[in-house]
């Protein structure tokens, strides 16, 4: 084979696509009843948009972005996530003039040049939401409620909702000072990555997975113990709302997130079923980003779900059952083309999926083809059948068959769907 898809990128084939469509349909259905409206932004953006929002010293910007110069020498990037683009669109289109909250969702591909492994791709897909204009913790609580409802609709259970607060521009600098001092005394014993992070982004040292670092850092100071009065109250009110909404959660003071724009609340939805890449969704509040991009000061929060990881978690059998059955119209040659067309239209008008032989094949060959296509039903259209307006039908799975008018056949098939 001469060509193959790039490493970390994959085809989603028709046999799998109805699982994706099912996930996307559920997302649209549920997000829209919470008044989130769809937004579609370009896949290619100015690279600087991500540099400034996600942060120059983060793994995503430092190592993982697909960046290149366009024909005019402008530095552009394939979007590694959706939040920065939605914030840009919100400001560029003056959406802040509409009444708050403004709530958006998006579904689409993202690109990160990561080392591919199970659950981690270079082109992956997210379903994300962003909510602008309201600073109270009801917003984050609603986001978790939305996630819970969405996962329930897909029958995905056993998820863990983990929350934390990473403070604001008032309390975080103080905390960082303490953290810096603590790490400074231990840095020479930490792993190479942590030594690098210590200089550039010390918060990321907290979630290092290397066992020796974990041991050295077991009593690392945590942001949650340094929150200012406002952040503490917000975080505690948030938890009260979660209790009110009956969303089980766990405070995990070690969640720091790999993107710099967060302020205050952050959260992750994780599961043991996914192995090392255990986060199926993640998000938080980012109250300073709109202003950083030149818009009016606007509180905001959101999350994104990784679709590939969701597909892994889904009971595929359950979804495949939702697939509409295929009906194969077996016919006796070209002379009956008009009748085949009529019957196909009537069946399609009733939302059945119809297939036929396009060339002249014997009845036996057509039945064989119906079998190979996994048709659930075969309807036979021959001269005799047309004259009597009675068609032979056969249910392929158990061989039951009969003769009936098309309306009767439609009712039989609908009953057994
Ligand atoms: P994130 O944590 O970088 O957040 O990504 C969110 C989710 O996308 C992850 O939990 C994971 O399920 C999925 N994901 C990330 N990278 C990959 C990958 N390489 N392969 C497969 N799946 C992946 C964000 O992107 C933020 N924009 C979320 C957000 C929205 N925060 C506020 N609003």
Encode pLDDT of 15-42 as tens digits. 889 899 999 999 999 999 999 999 999 9
Encode pLDDT of 189-228 as tens digits. 999 889 988 888 888 888 888 899 989 989 999 999 999 9
Write down the domain spans for the chain: 14-166+243-317, 172-226, 324-412
* pLDDT value for 336: 83
Query: In 229-376, at which residue ranges do the beta strands (DSSP E only) sit?
Result: 250-251, 265-270, 279-285, 300-306, 326-331, 353-356
Encode pLDDT of 345-376 as tens digits. 999 999 999 999 998 899 999 999 999 999 99
> The domain 324-412: what is its CATH number?
3.40.50.800
Model confidence, pTM:
0.92
**Whose C-alpha lies nearest to ligand 1, atom 23?**
306
The listed CATH number (3.40.50.20, 3.30.930.10, 3.40.50.11900, 3.40.50.850) that belongs to domain 14-166+243-317: 3.30.930.10
Q: Read off the pLDDT of each residue in 315-324 and give the average, rounded to a whole number.
A: 76
Lowest mean pLDDT, pick from 7-16, 29-38, 288-297, 311-320 = 311-320
Span from the CA of 190 to the centroid of ligand 1 (angstroms)? 27
Residue 128 pLDDT class (50, 70, 90 cuts): very high
What tokens appear for 200 in the block? 């550039």
Span from the CA of 51 to the centroid of ligand 1 (angstroms)? 16
- Distance CA(154)–CA(157), nearest Å, equals 9
What is residue 38's three-state secondary structure?
A: strand
**Whose C-alpha lies nearest to ligand 1, atom 30?**
303
Q: Kindly tell me if the per-residue pLDDT of 317 is higher than 80.
A: no
What tokens appear for 302 in the block? 């959101």
* pLDDT value for 197: 84
Please state whether the peptide bond connecting residue 199 to the residue before it is cis, i.e. omega within 30 degrees of 0: no
Determine whether the shortest distance from the Cβ of 125 to ligand 1 is under 6 A. Answer: no
Query: In 112-247, at which residue ranges do the beta strands (DSSP E only) sit?
Result: 123-132, 160-165
What tokens appear for 272 in the block? 């043991």
* Residue with the larger pLDDT of the pair 206 and 167: 167
Q: Cβ(223)–Cβ(166) under 8 Å?
A: yes
Span from the CA of 256 to the centroid of ligand 1 (angstroms)? 14
Length of the chain: 417
Q: Got the DSSP string for 87-98?
A: HHHHHHTTGGGS
Angle, alpha carbons 171-298-83 (nearest 5°): 90
- Distance CA(266)–CA(86), nearest Å, equals 19
Q: Read off the pLDDT of each residue in 379-386 and give the average, rounded to a whole number.
A: 88
Cβ atoms within 10 Å, residue 281: 24
Span from the CA of 197 to the centroid of ligand 1 (angstroms)? 20
Q: Cβ(38)–Cβ(28) under 8 Å?
A: yes
**Whose C-alpha lies nearest to ligand 1, atom 18?**
120
Atom of ligand 1 nearest to the CA of 80: 25
385-390 long-range CB contacts below 8 Å, 24 or more apart? 386/336, 386/339
* pLDDT value for 356: 94
Encode pLDDT of 232-252 as tens digits. 999 999 999 999 999 999 999
With the most atoms of ligand 1 within 8 angstroms of its CB, the residue from 6, 50, 81 to mutate is 81
Q: Kindly tell me if the per-residue pLDDT of 387 is higher than 90.
A: no
* pLDDT value for 269: 97
- Distance CA(376)–CA(222), nearest Å, equals 59
Determine whether the shortest distance from the Cβ of 264 to ligand 1 is under 6 A. Answer: no
Determine whether the shortest distance from the Cβ of 308 to ligand 1 is under 6 A. Answer: yes
Describe the chain by its helix, strand, coil percentages, rounded to 5: 45, 20, 35
Q: Cβ(391)–Cβ(381) under 8 Å?
A: yes
* pLDDT value for 343: 94
* pLDDT value for 193: 87
Q: Read off the pLDDT of each residue in 110-115 and give the average, rounded to a whole number.
A: 97
Encode pLDDT of 131-164 as tens digits. 999 999 999 999 999 999 999 999 998 899 999 9
Backbone phi and psi for residue 322, each to the nearest 5 degrees, phi listed first: -75, -10
Atom of ligand 1 nearest to the CA of 285: 32
* pLDDT value for 111: 98
Q: Kindly tell me if the per-residue pLDDT of 282 is higher than 80.
A: yes
């Amino acid at each position: 084979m001469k060509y193959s898809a790039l490493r970390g990128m994959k085809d989603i084939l028709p046999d799998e696509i109805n699982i994706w469509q099912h996930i996307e349909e559920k997302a649209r259905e549920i997000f829209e009843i919470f008044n989130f409206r769809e937004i579609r932004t370009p896949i290619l953006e100015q690279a600087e948009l991500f540099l400034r929002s996600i942060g120059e010293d983060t793994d995503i910007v430092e190592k993982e972005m697909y960046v290149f110069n366009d024909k005019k020498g402008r530095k552009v990037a394939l979007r590694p996530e959706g939040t920065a683009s939605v914030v840009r669109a919100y400001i560029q289109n003056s959406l802040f003039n509409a009444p708050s909250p403004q709530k958006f969702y998006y579904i689409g591909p993202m690109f990160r040049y990561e080392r591919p492994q199970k659950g981690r791709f270079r082109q992956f897909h997210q379903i994300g939401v962003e909510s602008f204009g309201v600073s109270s913790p009801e917003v984050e609580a609603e986001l978790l409620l939305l996630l819970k409802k969405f996962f329930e609709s897909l029958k995905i259970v056993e998820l863990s909702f983990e929350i934390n607060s990473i403070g604001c521009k008032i309390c975080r600098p103080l905390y960082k000072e303490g953290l810096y001092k603590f790490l400074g005394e231990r840095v020479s014993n930490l792993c190479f990555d942590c030594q690098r992070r210590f200089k550039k982004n010390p918060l990321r040292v907290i979630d290092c997975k290397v066992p020796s670092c974990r041991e050295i850092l077991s009593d690392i100071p945590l942001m949650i113990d340094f929150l200012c009065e406002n952040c503490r109250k917000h975080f505690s009110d948030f938890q009260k709302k979660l209790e009110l909404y009956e969303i089980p959660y766990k405070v995990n003071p070690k969640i720091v997130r790999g993107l710099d724009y967060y302020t205050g609340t952050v959260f992750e939805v994780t599961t043991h079923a996914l192995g090392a890449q255990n986060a199926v969704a993640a998000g938080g509040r980012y109250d300073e980003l709109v202003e950083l991009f030149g818009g009016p000061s606007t509180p905001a929060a959101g999350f994104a779900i990784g679709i590939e990881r969701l597909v892994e978690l889904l009971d595929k059998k359950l979804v495949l059952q939702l697939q509409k059955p295929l009906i194969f119209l077996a016919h006796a040659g070209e002379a009956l083309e008009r009748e085949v067309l009529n019957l196909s239209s009537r069946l399609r008008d009733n939302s059945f999926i119809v297939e036929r032989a396009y060339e002249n094949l014997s009845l036996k060959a057509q039945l064989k083809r119906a079998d190979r296509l996994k048709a659930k039903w075969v309807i036979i259209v021959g001269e005799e059948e047309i004259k009597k307006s009675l068609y032979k039908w056969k249910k392929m799975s158990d061989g039951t068959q009969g003769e009936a008018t098309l309306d009767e056949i439609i009712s039989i098939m609908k009953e057994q769907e």
